[in-house]
Structure 1
Amino acid sequence: MKPLIIDAHGSNLEIGRQHARGSLAMRDDVLQWAQAAVSDYPSDDETVRRRIDEVATAWRDLTPGTLEQIEGMAEVYEIPRDSLLTAVLGTYLRSLARTRGPAEGCTTFAVTGEHPFLVKNRDNDRHFLPMQTVLRVRPQSGHPWVALTTAGAPGVHSSGMNALGLCVADTHVPSSDVGPGVPRFASMMHLLELCATTEEALDYLGRTPQMGLGNLTLLDGAGSAAVVECGYRHTKVVARAGPGQDPGGNGVVTTNHHIHPVLSACLLEPEDGTPGANSRARATVVADHLSKTASVASDPDAALVAVRELAGSHVGFENSTTRAGSLCQHGKDLKAETISTAIFDPVNRSMDLCLGRPCTDPYTRIPVAPHR
C-alpha cells in the first residue's frame, strides 16, 4: 500500500484544513469513526458532556493548537467538531469509565550506537489501515516535522521526527491515572516543534500536565534514547540508553503496560491477563534481542535490515495465529493487527514506512522535508 503524503504549513487551523483536504477521499472513514464514538458516548449524556467540556477547557490553555486543528479538519470534512473531538477522546472516555483495555497493542523500541533507529509497530483494528497518512508539517513557529498519523486526528497520532532528528513514538496503556491534560498526540507534536534533543523533550514532558494513557519512546540524532510513562498524576522516566548511560544498554523498549510501581498499580487490564501477557511477552522479545547486540552493525544498511527483521518477527507464530511475543501481529482470532511499521533514522532524517504487515509488505523511504 503506497503511503499518502500530505504537506501542510502555517497556523494550526490551516494545518487542520490542509490535512483534511489532502485526505478528503478518506472522509467517509473519518465520519464512521466519529459516528461510532458519538454512539458510544452521546453528547446528551450529562457525564459525557461534562467530561468533554472539561477537556476542551483545559486544552484551550494547554494545547489550543490541537483544538484549532480539529476545527479545521471538521470544517473541511463537514463533520461536527464535537463529533471529531469525541472520536479523538475515545480511549480517554473509555478509561474514565474504567473499561478494560484492548486485547492487543503496539511495540516501540530504539536502538542506540553508531546508527540509531526508532521503530514502531502500530497495532490496531484493520479498518484503520486505509486511514494511515503521512503528515509533513512546516509550523508557523518551531521545527518542521514528519509523522505517521491517522486521517481526522490532530497532532502526531502515532510517531514522528523533526528536522533536527528528534524522534518520538507512543504506545497506548489502559490506565485509571487519567485526567484533562495534554494528550500524547499533542505532546508529541509540541516536543517535535520545540525540542532538539531527548533531554529537552524529557524536560517538556516533566513540566507539562499529561492526559495519561500511554508511554513515549524518544531518540535523538546523538543516539540518546529514553522511555517515559505518562499518567495524569505521575509521569516517570523508566529507561535510558545511549551516550552517558549504562554502557551495557543497547536500546530501550516499551509496549502496552507500565513498569513504574506507581503507574503499574493503575493499569486497567482484563481479568484474563491480556493485554498484559501479550504486552510483556513482546517487550521481553525486544529486550532479549537488544541484550544480545553488543553494538549496532557498523554497516548502516545491515543495521536497518536487523531492525526490519525484528519488527517483522513471529516469535511464537504458529498456524497463521499470533502467539504472545510476536511483534508482527496478525491472525484470524485477533481484534487488532499490525497495520504499519515506521522506522525513523535520526542521522539521515528519514522515515522508512511499511503500511500493512512488516513481515511481507514493502517499505517506502520518506524524508522529513520534501525535495525542492
Structure 2
Amino acid sequence: MTSAPVSLCGAARDRGLAQAAAASADDIARVRRAVEERVAAGRDLLQREDHRTLMAGCVDAADVHAPASRAEVRGLAEGFGLAEDDLLAFLHMPVLLDTAKARADASVEDGCSTWAAVDGSGRPWVGKNRDYGGDHAALQRLFRHDGPDLPAGPMLCLGSLGAPGAFSSGINARGLALVDSQVPTADHGPGLCRYFLMSEILGRCATVAEALALIDATPHAGGGCLTLADASGAMAAVELGHAAVRVETARQGWLARTNHHLSDALSGRLIERPGEPMGRSTRERLETIRAAFATGVPKDVPAFAHALMASHDDDAPADGQGLCRHGQDGDSRTISTVLFEPSARRLYVSMGPPCSTPWNRHAV
C-alpha cells in the first residue's frame, strides 16, 4: 500500500466529501461494509434506552466542543453513502461495548503500543504501533488536512477511510504530535469521544500545554490514552475516563502507554476478560518498552524505533512481548507504525507490519 498522503482541503465538511471522492469504488464498498456490519452487530446495544441517552449526550458534546469533526462526519456520511447516525454509532461503538460490559462477547480489535521520548540533543519523538483487527488494514490511509478551521495549520494524520481527522495519530504544522491507544474501561459517560478530541487538539493546539488546557476544559466520553509531544520537547501521557482524567508530563526521558491505565484513579476501572490474551499482552509490551529505554534514549532514534517496533516475542525480554503483533492477541495485528519528529514537523511511517514493510518519510 502506498504511503503517499491523500490531500484533503477546504472546510471540514468538504474534507469529508473529498475523502470519499478520492476513494475507489472497492474502497467505498469496504467502508460501507465495515460501518454497516459493526452497527448491525451492535444493534441491540443501540436500542437500549441508556445507550440512546449516552449517544445523544456524546453527539451533543461533539456539537459544542468539536464542530469541525461533526461537519467532517456529515461530509463523510454523504460522500460514502452512509446514514450519519450509523457512522456516529460506528465511531462510538467501543464506548457502548464497554458500558454494556459486553467485552466478553466482543472480539479484541485494538492493541497499540505508544511512547514519547526526548533524545540527548533535546529532540522529541513520538512512536506508535497501530494494532487493529479484521480487514481494517485495507482502509488505512495517510491524510493531509488543510482548511480554514485549522488554526494550528495543516496536519498529517494516519487514519482510515470513512473516519474523520486523527483517527489513530497525527502531527500538525506547529510540531505537535499525538498518538492514541484503546483502553476498555468502566468509566464512561456523556462527553467527547477520543477520535474527535484528537482532531480538535491537532487542529487547534500548538503545544502540549495548550492541548492539556483543551483536554481539561472538555467533557469526555472516556476510554483510551493519548501520548503527546511538541516541538519544544514537552511530553505528556493522558489517561481518559469520563469521571477522571489523569496526566503524566515530562521534558526529558520517556513516557509510554499500551492498553491499560496506570493511574490509581483509573486502573481499577479496567474491563478485562479472564484469560484474554490482550490482558497479558498490554502489560508485557509495556515492559518491553521500559526495557528498551532502561539505559536512556539512544542517539539514533529512527534506527532504535525501527528495531523496537518490529520486535517479536523472541526478541523481547523475559517478562516482555514483541511490539509487532501477528494475531497472538486474538484478532489484533500490527497494521502500521508511525514515528513523529515534532521539531522537524515530519513523520516516518510503515504502512504495514514494521518487520516486513518499508519506511517512508513525509513532511507536514
TM-score (normalizing by structure 1): 0.89
- Distance apart, 1:254 and its partner CA: 0.4
Aligned to 1:111: 117
CA distance in 2, matches of 1:331, 1:66: 32
Residues 22-101 of structure 1 aligned to structure 2 (within 5 Å)? 22-25=22-25, 26-42=27-43, 45-47=47-49, 48-100=51-103
Cα pair 2:298 2:304 within 8 Å, conserved: no
Consecutive unaligned residues in structure 1, runs of 5 or more: 244-249
Secondary structure of the corresponding residue to residue 246 of structure 2: strand
Alignment partner for residue 213 of structure 1, among 212, 215, 223? Answer: 223
Aligned to 1:135: 143
2:312 counterpart of 1:314? yes
- Distance apart, 1:333 and its partner CA: 7.1
Aligned to 2:169: 159
Aligned to 1:296: 298
Aligned length, in residue pairs: 352
CA distance in 2, matches of 1:358, 1:136: 22
Cα pair 1:174 1:214 within 8 Å, conserved: yes
2:332 counterpart of 1:336? yes
Whichever residue aligns with residue 269 of structure 2, its letter is C
Name the CA shift for 1:124/1:21 in 2 (closer, same or farther; >3 Å).
Answer: same
Whichever residue aligns with residue 240 of structure 1, its letter is T
- Please report the RMSD computed on the Cα atoms of aligned residues, expressed in angstroms: 2.1
- Distance apart, 1:202 and its partner CA: 1.4
Aligned to 2:3: 3
Aligned to 2:185: 175
Consecutive unaligned residues in structure 2, runs of 5 or more: none
Cα pair 1:252 1:287 within 8 Å, conserved: no
Aligned identity (percent) is: 30
- Distance apart, 1:210 and its partner CA: 1.6
- Distance apart, 1:103 and its partner CA: 7.2
CA distance in 1, matches of 2:162, 2:23: 8
Secondary structure of the corresponding residue to residue 35 of structure 2: helix
- Distance apart, 1:357 and its partner CA: 0.8
Name the CA shift for 1:9/1:333 in 2 (closer, same or farther; >3 Å).
Answer: closer
